[in-house]
């Protein structure tokens, strides 16, 4: 079957590595990647563990379709307890690292304990060694990855690593692979840093040739790739504009969070849009966007490669930033731009480069800066405290705070706490636009009602990728629903949540869901893993994963009160646009959501729900 059947366990405290058999009974109940690693995680780690203690563990996991010819089959996830939230963290990344893990013969790498000094893990097929990383500590991701490749004299080695932000325990530090793809949310990079683990480097050439029904698999994956190619979003919009295709669309419909969610439209959206990235600059006659890029096995190629204007104030004397690297995607462009009232495309590109180079989540960083800017405009924070004037719209404040945050200097240490802790420290917790301590992505829940329920109930804190109702409410996929009404949204959110858990656990990109439904994924999983994976089985797997994550959070101390939105979104109506006069209807949607989930009024899974799902 499509699993390798092997797990690598690394004990950093003891300095040992060992190989063990994959629990195939769990694989059949949780599929792989997100689901299977979560099962391992909840069985091995206490829900009350300190996320930054040696007792927390990290699970780097692939899915059964990772490394195969299934489109976008290059994903991997990092599962741990997140320091930003205290909830279960599952952060997904593309690039080439996941495929390399599978090619080396492992479904999962489990990291436990803490090394007494900085180390990195080197894996070459089934040989794993823990190596000294003293020379790497204090270096950025952009320095670490080439150093490792040179050290091992193999440019095909795939590396995931942390930058200085992870070392300095920025609570939303990311793990970056292939220089600009990232397991970006919830602070998984800070957990890695707490273990003194600088990087994991993998080289595998075993191949992935153990799909259950190879001829059937080849046929069905070819058919499904054709669907992606012929779809307007996956075949045209995403390859051309990337996720930035959404910037002007969301802004026009009045769901663009602006100035820390005080407003729902941003006048400067067009200046930082995907269309703008294509335009030639008057300074050098070149466009911000150089080309698009694909992850392993991807037929969509939504990734952006950008080159910054070397005459711009941010990089005039910093040639290391003149070259092409990972460009802006929609969530980063929003968080760094609209959320802070900044419409300087080059400044946003530069800050995004910083986020890639030293490994921080641009969503949480940008949203935290938004709270800082509001506190500054209120007079709660001063220029002397911050170190720079920081009103909304200040590109210079944004870039300076980014530099300080990744280096752990000055007020950057405060920004590295995230908006929840920062606003609590300065007496205004209501200014943190977050759920469970994790900052919102780029959709205002007054203008897209389903996203409010999505944020409130997401197991890893506010997240759009756990239930992307924008597909239905904005793009009409798979059916069009009204974004301004709460009717039917609890059912829609549950369906998206369960289906997305399957996409994630299979090892494919959730962006395929713009063209595929679970009906398209199921025959690929069945051909790869076995025909027992029918639609009913996959639906159960998705729901089982969601409830397992929920149980962990409940055991960690989360309650019904944590399934809520900030008062601003429930009391302050949208001022303009199609949603003018509306607030979020979360209070109407949540009880219905609990009911259809089979949970009690406090959001706890009922005994019959747990029994039905085998939990």
Of the candidates 538, 537, 555, 539, which has an alpha carbon nearest to the alpha carbon of residue 605? Answer: 555
Q: Are 429 and 549 in contact (CB under 8 A)?
A: no
What is the sign of the dihedral through the CA atoms of 529, 531, 535 and 541? negative
604 has pLDDT over 90: yes
Q: Give the chain's largest Cα–Cα span.
A: 67
pLDDT band, very low/low/confident/very high, at 285 (cuts 50, 70, 90): very high
Residue with tokens 């480069």: 353
Burial class, 602, CB count within 10 angstroms (exposed 0-12 / middle 13-18 / buried 19+): exposed
Q: What is the mean pLDDT of residues 450-476?
A: 97
The H or E element that residue 36 is part of is: helix 33-44
583 has pLDDT over 90: yes
Report d(CA 434, CA 448) in Å as an integer: 16
Q: Which residues of 504-519 are buried (b: 16+ CB within 10 A; e: fewer)?
A: bbbbbbbbbbbbbebe
Give the model confidence (pLDDT) of 475-523 as tens digits. Answer: 999 999 999 999 999 999 999 999 999 999 999 999 999 999 999 999 9
Helix (H, G, I), strand (E, B) or coil at 590: helix
Report d(CA 97, CA 195) in Å as an integer: 20
User: Quick one: pLDDT at residue 317?
Assistant: 86
Report d(CA 370, CA 392) in Å as an integer: 8
User: Quick one: pLDDT at residue 264?
Assistant: 98
CA distances from 314 to 123, 329, 397, 407 (A): 38, 20, 11, 16
Tokens for 20?
């063990």
Percent of the chain with pLDDT over 70: 100
Q: State how beta strands 16-21 and 6-11 pair.
A: antiparallel
User: Quick one: pLDDT at residue 316?
Assistant: 87
CA distances from 298 to 96, 185, 463, 511 (A): 10, 22, 23, 10
Give the model confidence (pLDDT) of 334-359 as tens digits. Answer: 999 999 999 999 999 999 999 999 99
Tokens for 93?
């990344």
Helix %, strand %, coil % for the chain, to 5? 45, 15, 40
Q: Count CB-CB contacts under 10 A for residue 157.
A: 20
52 has pLDDT over 80: yes
Give the model confidence (pLDDT) of 366-418 as tens digits. Answer: 999 999 999 999 999 999 999 999 999 999 999 999 999 999 999 999 999 99
User: Quick one: pLDDT at residue 1?
Assistant: 72
CA distances from 494 to 101, 139, 453 (A): 32, 42, 10
Report d(CA 559, CA 604) in Å as an integer: 8
Give the model confidence (pLDDT) of 112-157 as tens digits. Answer: 999 999 999 999 999 999 999 999 999 999 999 999 999 999 999 9
Give the model confidence (pLDDT) of 322-338 as tens digits. Answer: 888 999 999 999 999 99
The structural domains of the chain, ordered by start, are 6-203 (3.60.9.10), 250-438 (1.10.569.10), 444-613 (1.10.599.10)
Helix ranges restricted to H, 533-573: 535-555, 567-571
pLDDT band, very low/low/confident/very high, at 566 (cuts 50, 70, 90): very high
Q: Are 395 and 350 in contact (CB under 8 A)?
A: no
For 290, residues 6+ apart whose C-beta sits below 8 A from its C-beta are 305, 306, 307, 324, 327
């Amino acid at each position: 079957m499509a699993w390798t059947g092997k797990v690598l366990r690394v004990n950093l405290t003891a300095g040992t590595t060992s190989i063990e058999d994959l629990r195939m009974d769990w694989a059949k109940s949780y599929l792989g990647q997100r689901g299977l690693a979560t099962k391992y995680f909840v069985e091995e780690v206490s829900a009350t563990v300190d996320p930054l203690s040696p007792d927390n563990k990290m699970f780097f996991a692939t899915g059964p379709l990772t490394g195969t010819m299934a489109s976008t089959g290059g994903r991997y996830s990092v599962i741990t307890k997140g320091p930003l939230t205290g909830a279960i963290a599952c952060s997904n990344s593309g690039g080439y690292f996941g495929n390399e893990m599978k090619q080396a013969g492992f479904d999962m790498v489990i990291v436990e304990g803490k090394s007494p000094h900085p180390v990195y893990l080197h894996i070459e097929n089934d040989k794993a060694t823990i190596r000294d990383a003293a020379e790497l500590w204090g270096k950025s991701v952009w320095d670490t990855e080439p150093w490792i490749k040179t050290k091992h004299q193999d440019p095909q080695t795939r590396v995931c690593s942390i930058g200085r932000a992870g070392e300095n325990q920025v609570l939303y530090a990311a793990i970056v692979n292939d220089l600009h793809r990232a397991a970006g949310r919830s602070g998984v990079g800070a957990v890695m840093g707490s273990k003194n683990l600088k990087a994991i480097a993998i080289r595998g050439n075993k191949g992935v040739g153990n799909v259950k029904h190879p001829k059937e698999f080849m046929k069905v994956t070819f058919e499904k790739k054709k669907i992606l190619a012929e779809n307007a979003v996956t075949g045209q919009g995403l390859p051309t504009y990337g996720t930035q295709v959404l910037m002007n669309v969301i802004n026009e419909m009045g769901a663009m969070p602006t100035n820390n969610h005080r407003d729902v439209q941003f006048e400067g959206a067009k200046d930082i849009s995907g269309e703008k990235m294509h335009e030639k600059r008057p300074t050098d006659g070149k466009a911000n966007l150089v080309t698009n890029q694909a992850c392993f096995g991807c037929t969509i190629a939504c990734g952006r490669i950008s080159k910054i204007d070397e005459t711009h104030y941010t990089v005039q004397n910093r040639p290391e930033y003149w070259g092409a690297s990972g460009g802006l995607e929609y969530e980063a462009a929003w968080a760094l731009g609209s959320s802070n009232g900044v419409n300087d495309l080059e400044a946003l590109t530069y800050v995004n480069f910083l986020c890639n180079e030293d490994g921080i989540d641009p969503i949480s960083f940008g949203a935290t800066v938004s709270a800082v800017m509001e506190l500054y405009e209120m007079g709660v924070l001063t220029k002397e405290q911050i170190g720079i004037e920081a009103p909304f719209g200040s590109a210079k404040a944004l870039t300076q705070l980014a530099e300080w945050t990744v280096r752990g200097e000055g007020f950057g240490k405060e920004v590295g706490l995230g908006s929840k802790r920062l606003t609590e420290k300065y007496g205004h917790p209501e200014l943190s636009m977050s759920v469970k301590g994790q900052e919102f992505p780029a959709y205002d829940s007054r203008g897209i009602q389903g996203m409010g329920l999505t944020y409130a109930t997401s197991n890893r804190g506010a997240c759009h990728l756990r239930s992307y109702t924008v597909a239905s409410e904005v793009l009409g996929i798979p059916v069009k629903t009204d974004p301004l009404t709460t009717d039917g949204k609890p059912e829609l959110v549950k369906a998206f949540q369960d289906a997305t858990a399957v996409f994630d656990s299979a090892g494919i990109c959730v962006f395929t869901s713009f063209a595929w439904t679970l009906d398209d994924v199921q025959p690929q999983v069945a051909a790869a893993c076995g025909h027992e994976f029918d639609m009913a089985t996959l639906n159960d797997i998705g729901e089982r994963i969601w409830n397992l994550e929920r149980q962990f959070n409940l055991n960690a101390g989360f309650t019904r009160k944590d399934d809520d939105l900030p008062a601003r979104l429930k009391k302050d109506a949208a001022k303009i646009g199609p949603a003018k006069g509306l607030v979020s209807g979360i209070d109407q949607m949540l009880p219905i959501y609990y009911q259809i989930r089979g949970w009690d009024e406090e959001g706890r899974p009922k005994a019959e729900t747990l029994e039905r799902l085998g939990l």
